[in-house]
Chain A
Amino acid sequence: MLKRLVKHKLAILGALIVLAFLVAAAFAPYLAPRDPLKSSLREARKPPSPTYPLGTDHLGRDLLSRIIFGTRVSLLMAVISVGIGLAVGTPVGALSGFYGGATDMVTQRIVDIMMAFPGILLAIVVVAVLGPGLWNAMLAVGISFVPTYVRVVRGAVLELREREFVEASRATGASGLHIIVRHIMPNCIAPIIVLSTLQMASAILWAAGLGYLGLGAQPPTPEWGAMLGEGYNYGMIRVAPHVTIFPGVAIALAVLGFNLLGDGLRDALDPRLRGRL
């Protein structure tokens, strides 16, 4: 009983955290006390104080305002890269799983190749080709999410295509595409929702990682990872540690929110995904 309650509470906590970040992104101009881009060298590297609740960075910009506006950048990057993975990976996975045979073989080998570049490395390869920047980083993270969607959706479809209702639809002479769209996909919604929520967490982490490495959002864009990287590069970790501490807290909180929500959704929608997602 206690266990159930805690699980439930954690999922709600996750939803609240996500909601808080959404609100921060939507109302950033009203919530931020100052202009996130306005620098003033006289105010540089100020520790947290009543005037600057989280202090200022190496150009004297208000850190709290930058973090609040950074919510927009990070959430936008996450939504778009998850969107790319979803839009490309879902149909490919569905077709691959449903038709099997040579289509499946070729698709799976391509997925193998993409998965040979572990984690963020595939995104780094894409950035190496396209060049650093906010949009290229989104595209890069999106591309590196494609194989995961292909694998998860394919797995779900493989299981579903043997079920009676698919058999029944086929017996009525329905086309393959009709069966996929009308009968199979509605049953794949649960794993896709769970995966997408958890991928939001990864997307925020990876986008921030690219930003930190200087391969993602470029200054002066207030992106959490890039802010942290700038804080480190300008040797400020010693003199102004708050510049490296706070953006990281924002990243960790946002990731925690999506992870908790994703875990909760998984347990509620499809407990069999436990251990797989």
Chain B
Amino acid sequence: MIQYAIRRLLLAVPTLLGVSMLVFGILRMLPGDPATALAGVHATQEVVERIRAEHGLDKPIHLQYLGFMKDLFRGNLGKSIRTALPVTTEVVSRLIPTLELTAVSMVLAVLLGVIVGVISAAKPYTVFDYGSMLGALVGLSAPVFWLGLMLMLLFSLQLGWLPAAGRGDFRHLILPSVTLAASSVALIARFTRSTMLEVLRSEYIATARAKGLRESRVILRHALSNAMIPILTIIGLRFGALLSGAVLTENVFAWPGVGRLVVDSISARDYPVVQGAVLMIAVSFVFINLVVDLLYGVVNPRIRYD
């Protein structure tokens, strides 16, 4: 287990290095002259030259990368072109709302997904089962931004029950997190159902029933606890989908997160911020995956470490 953990940690190093190179490349791979792109269309030649020197764009590429990495370890990601604030400040202040939204959506997705999946598997081929699986199909197919707009249309604009945009008390969190969770609820519910149905066919379930256990105990205690391991795998895989969906959801609900920052910065050609925000999302994702992988080892004693 310890050996596996170390190996897994070591594997994250080349990934993070590669991520840093790719993010470094965002600015240098811009078509044409990056300094001109940074300075904007109306900049004078002096401004362009100053920006070129400021970002070290006049040096050879490997030295630029070394400088980038040195700055990175000092927590210096450059300055935003729009606001002139340090990129680190901008990005870190936006990361918390994103993590908040993602975490709440994850809890929602797991709770709802597992509950619906278990009930569907316990009562298969009933109205509830067909209804919820149909709902899951819709949840998987509807684009997240459209779903968000429809919920906003219904609950904020028509009924006036919930705020349409922004971040504040927990009422602001309801629509964005439901929107973001929807496709994950659908996927987890479908997967829980099929895994549970498979487990419920095993012999030890027949034994448990033959012992005269109550059906609720058979399902929750004997079946669910064994179905949980594959379900956890799917849950672990959903973090990426949630972070990805957050980019769109934040834009719908004007949620001040890092995903919205990325999109706004691309539109404003604020490349230092694009770099910083993208780097932050990717690094968070690599760490979340690392933690998820290590947790499997704890949860599932059957896992093979080879």
| Interface of A toward B, CB cutoff 8 Å | 2-3, 6, 109-110, 112-113, 115-121, 124-125, 127-132, 201, 205, 208-209, 212-215, 225, 228-229, 232, 237-238, 241, 244-245, 247-248, 251-253, 255-256, 259-260, 274-275
Provide the bound-state CA to CA distance between A223 and B233, in Å: 36
Contact A118–B243 (Cβ < 8 Å) = yes
Contact A255–B141 (Cβ < 8 Å) = yes
Which residue of A119, A241, A247 is within 8 Å of B243 (Cβ)? A119
Provide the bound-state CA to CA distance between A3 and B247, in Å: 37
Chain A residues within 8 Å of B297, by CB: none
Contact A3–B125 (Cβ < 8 Å) = yes
Sample of 14 more A-B contacts, CB < 8 Å, known A112-B11, A118-B281, A259-B141: A116-B283, A121-B247, A124-B262, A124-B278, A128-B26, A128-B266, A215-B266, A232-B149, A238-B157, A244-B150, A247-B146, A252-B146, A275-B194, A275-B230
Chain B residues within 8 Å of A245, by CB: 150, 153
Provide a sorted-by-A list of 18 A–B residue pairs whose CB atoms are within 8 angstroms: A112-B11, A113-B22, A117-B282, A124-B266, A125-B22, A128-B26, A128-B274, A131-B31, A132-B266, A212-B251, A213-B248, A229-B145, A251-B142, A252-B143, A256-B138, A259-B140, A275-B195, A275-B230
Provide the bound-state CA to CA distance between A209 and B191, in Å: 25
The 6 nearest A-B residue pairs measured at CB: A119-B244, A248-B146, A113-B18, A118-B240, A256-B141, A255-B141
Interface centre among B22, B240, B245, B248 (most CB of A within 10 A): B248
Chain B residues within 8 Å of A3, by CB: 124-125
Contact with A along B135-167 (1 / 0, CB 8 A): 001101111111101101100010000000000
Closest residue of chain A to B147 (Cβ to Cβ) is: A248
Contact A116–B282 (Cβ < 8 Å) = yes
Closest residue of chain B to A113 (Cβ to Cβ) is: B18
Chain A residues within 8 Å of B252, by CB: 232
Chain B residues within 8 Å of A225, by CB: 143, 145
Contact B141–A252 (Cβ < 8 Å) = yes
Provide the bound-state CA to CA distance between A109 and B14, in Å: 7
Closest residue of chain A to B154 (Cβ to Cβ) is: A241
Chain B residues within 8 Å of A208, by CB: 143
Chain B residues within 8 Å of A110, by CB: 18
- Min CB gap B38→A, angstroms: 13
Contact with A along B61-87 (1 / 0, CB 8 A): 000000000000000000000000000
